[in-house]
């Protein structure tokens, strides 16, 4: 990582932290899917805070992850060539996915459901092919592997890079429009809350577009042209325009069940929610890129330590979070406080687990 791109490494750390806190939030809010959920009573304010946090992080975090991942693909492909690039991706992404499926998934399920018999669980998964959906958080690595392989196959047909290109407002608004329309149409058949083999296709419109935008940003050096001023402008827009857009789907008059209406279907609530989600995704990501490039393009000792272990934290945080949550189960505490404490402890433990695993010869390099 060159000094001029330290901010992207810092953003990667930020995205990993958000992933952990999102899974901690699911544990105590019950909004979403996770191995262990502590069923607690939530007041209206607590529900609103969890809903705000989880909906906003869902809107941008994994899309930012795909953008960052896509950003490094063109240079890696050009440096290694197609054959070495593909073999490298199969090693760096494929092996962790298989490790998670056959080691981490049974471990996580056993922690959450102690009565489960691991042998029966594995046998049932293999005989019924349900193991294909055991990717847990590593669904991202599987999808990134697929995206990377497809990009490698078609990259040779792309036009030459153009350093004069910039991320203009019109282009970004067009990107928002494309994601909105695609998400709305996908959710007609795959609404929010549904999944296939642990893949939530309802969110894939943003993932695909942001991965491709990341590759193009790399080829045309677009990120380097996002100023701090531009970042601040999009940050203001993300909330000044985004907040009314976030509220609008809930007030759009779809009765009964406005919550279900926003999940997908031929209705105004679903379209408005897709519009808000897409707008916040693009606006907030551009804002983060501009602001971090201008003000956080450096790393101290601890940030470097976390950045070296981001993938390890991602792979190993699930069993750590489940264990921490179970240890806190008997502690009488506000769910919001538990969410913050569990997330913080999980990150602290997971980073050291990652550090230790990465010290093991042969095994360690897989999680670099």
Sign, Cα dihedral of 179, 180, 182, 184: positive
Q: Decide if pLDDT at 3 tops 90.
A: no
> How high is the pLDDT of residue 63?
98
CA 62 to CA 207: how far, in whole Å? Answer: 7
Token look-up 């992080």 returns 57
For residue 368, give every residue at least 6 positions away whose Cβ sits within 8 Å of its Cβ, in sequence order, or none. 308, 311, 358
At 255, the pLDDT band (50, 70, 90 cuts) reads very low
Cα distances (Å, whole numbers) of residue 147 to 66, 123, 231, 245: 10, 30, 28, 30
Reported for 51-55, long-range contacts at CB under 8 A and 24+ positions apart, including other chains, are 52/246, 53/21, 53/22, 53/25, 54/22, 54/25, 54/26, 54/29, 55/246, 55/277
Q: What is the mean pLDDT of the chain?
A: 94
DSSP 3-state assignment of 196? Answer: strand
Alpha helices for the chain (secondary structure H): 6-29, 44-71, 73-89, 95-99, 105-112, 118-127, 139-154, 169-189, 204-219, 228-240, 242-247, 258-262, 268-295, 301-308, 310-327, 335-358
Alpha helices for 190-267 (secondary structure H): 204-219, 228-240, 242-247, 258-262
Give mean pLDDT, residues 59-83. Answer: 97
Q: Decide if pLDDT at 57 tops 50.
A: yes
Percent of the chain with pLDDT over 90: 89
| C-beta atoms surrounding 139 within 10 Å | 19
80 φ, ψ to 5°?
-95, -25
> How high is the pLDDT of residue 254?
54
pTM metric for this prediction: 0.95
> How high is the pLDDT of residue 138?
98
| C-beta atoms surrounding 78 within 10 Å | 12
Q: Exposed/middle/buried for 67, CB within 10 Å: 0-12, 13-18, 19+?
A: buried
Give mean pLDDT, residues 108-118. Answer: 96
Q: Decide if pLDDT at 7 tops 70.
A: yes
In terms of Cα–Cα distance, which of 34, 172, 154, 147 is closest to 93?
A: 147
What confidence tens digit (pLDDT) does each residue in 124-140 have? 999 999 999 999 999 99
What confidence tens digit (pLDDT) does each residue in 273-287 have? 999 999 999 999 999
What confidence tens digit (pLDDT) does each residue in 180-228 have? 999 999 999 999 999 999 999 999 999 999 999 999 999 999 999 999 9
Q: Decide if pLDDT at 257 tops 70.
A: no
């Amino acid at each position: 990582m060159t000094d001029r791109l330290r901010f992207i490494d810092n953003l990667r750390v930020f995205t990993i932290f958000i992933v952990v806190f999102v899974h901690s939030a699911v544990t105590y809010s019950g909004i979403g899917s996770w191995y262990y959920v502590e069923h607690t009573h939530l007041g209206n304010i607590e529900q609103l805070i969890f809903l705000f946090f989880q909906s906003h992080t869902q809107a941008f975090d994994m899309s930012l992850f795909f953008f960052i991942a896509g950003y490094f693909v063109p240079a890696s492909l050009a440096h290694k060539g197609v054959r070495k690039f593909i073999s490298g991706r199969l090693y760096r992404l494929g092996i962790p996915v298989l490790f998670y499926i056959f080691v981490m998934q049974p471990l996580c399920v056993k922690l959450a459901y102690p009565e489960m018999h691991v042998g029966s669980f594995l046998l049932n998964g293999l005989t019924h092919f349900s193991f294909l959906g055991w990717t847990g958080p590593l669904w991202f690595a599987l999808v990134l592997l697929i995206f990377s392989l497809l990009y490698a196959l078609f990259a040779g047909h792309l036009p030459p890079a153009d350093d004069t290109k910039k991320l203009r407002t019109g282009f970004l608004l067009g990107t928002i429009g494309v994601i909105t329309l695609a998400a709305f149409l996908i959710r007609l058949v795959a609404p929010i809350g549904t999944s296939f083999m642990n893949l939530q296709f309802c969110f894939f419109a943003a993932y695909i577009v942001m991965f491709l935008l990341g590759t193009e940003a790399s080829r045309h050096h677009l990120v380097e042209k996002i100023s701090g001023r531009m970042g601040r402008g999009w940050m203001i827009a993300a909330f000044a325009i985004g907040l009314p857009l976030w509220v609008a789907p809930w007030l759009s008059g779809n009765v009964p069940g406005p919550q279900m209406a926003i999940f997908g279907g031929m209705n105004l609530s679903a379209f408005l929610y897709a519009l808000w989600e897409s707008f916040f995704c693009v606006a907030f990501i551009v804002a983060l890129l501009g602001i971090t490039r201008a003000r956080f393009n450096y790393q101290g000792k601890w940030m470097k330590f976390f950045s070296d272990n981001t993938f390890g934290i991602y792979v190993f945080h699930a069993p750590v979070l489940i264990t921490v949550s179970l240890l806190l189960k008997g502690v009488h505490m506000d769910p919001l406080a538990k969410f913050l404490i569990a997330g913080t402890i999980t990150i602290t433990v997971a980073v050291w687990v990652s550090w230790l695993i990465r010290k093991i010869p042969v095994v360690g390099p897989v999680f670099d």
